[in-house]
Amino acid sequence: MAYEYEINELANEDSWRMFRIMGELVEGFDKLSGIEPAVSIYGSARVQPGDELYARTEGVARRLGESGFSIITGGGPGVMEAANKGAMAAGVTSVGLNIELPEEQNPNPYTTKSITFHHFFVRKVMLVKYALAFVIMPGGLGTLDEVTEVLTLIQTFKIRPFPVILFDSQYWSGFLEWLRSTVQARGYISEDDLDLLRICDEPDTVVDAVQQWCIKHEIGGRRAL
């Protein structure tokens, strides 16, 4: 009887979790509808104001904003804060999609639209759904997770082949070399998969790559080496 009670409690808990997930999806769809065209910017939460990467991220977001694109980030500190700050400076919609974590991640103060999610995967849906390009700044495990998920969605035709831009060629060179010399060499990915990536080192190059997609539906910038 005790075992049956525990099973029923777990089933009830899962049912309520399903409704919470649905609620997060509905809230995201309601709040983010109409923000397009938008670009999602990913990167490390550990970058501090005053760091070169913080300033460069702010510059990328500001230039994209001045070109008419809303900016979407994970809503936290570091690269996310810098991108939202650049968007706000450009006067465009600055979206922060925050996540509840055991070690509290507070939303940064540079957003004009902010949502806090409990479930990572719902947040990731929103980061992808409203973007027509993805700018990947240097980052850690979370950033690697996000860039590989975006590439997988494109590779499997779940989303259109939007620009996926790796910013800072020096930072990403080792990752790209491993993909070519090990992953592609073993046949686990193809040359076409690597062609989905573009390398940019300057904000203007990022803007050009995104605009080229919007105008010609061509992925511009420099191909991953």
pLDDT of 219 reads: 52
- Packing angle, helices 120-129 and 141-155, rounded to 10: 60
CATH number where 150 lies: 3.40.50.450
| 75 φ/ψ sector (left φ>0, alpha ψ -120 to 50, else beta) | left
Query: Distances from the Cα of 31 to the Cαs of 24, 61, 148, 181, 190, in angstroms?
Result: 11, 21, 26, 43, 38
pLDDT of 14 reads: 74
Nearest CA to 206 out of 37, 41, 21 is that of: 41
Render pLDDT for 112-127 as a digit per residue (tens, 0 to 9).
999 999 999 999 999 9
The angle at the Cα of 216, spanning 212 to 220, to the nearest 5 degrees, equals 35
Render pLDDT for 153-205 as a digit per residue (tens, 0 to 9).
999 999 988 999 999 999 999 999 999 999 999 999 998 888 889 999 999 99
Q: Indicate the DSSP class of residue 45.
A: T
Instruction: Give residue 61's domain range.
Output: 2-223
Structural domains counted in the chain: 1
Q: Is 141 exposed, middle or buried (0-12, 13-18, 19+ CB in 10 A)?
A: exposed
- Cα 16 from Cα 12, distance rounded (Å): 6
Q: Indicate the average pLDDT of the chain.
A: 89
CB 209 within 8 A of CB 216: no
pTM above 0.85, yes or no: yes
Q: Indicate the DSSP class of residue 94.
A: E
pLDDT of 13 reads: 74
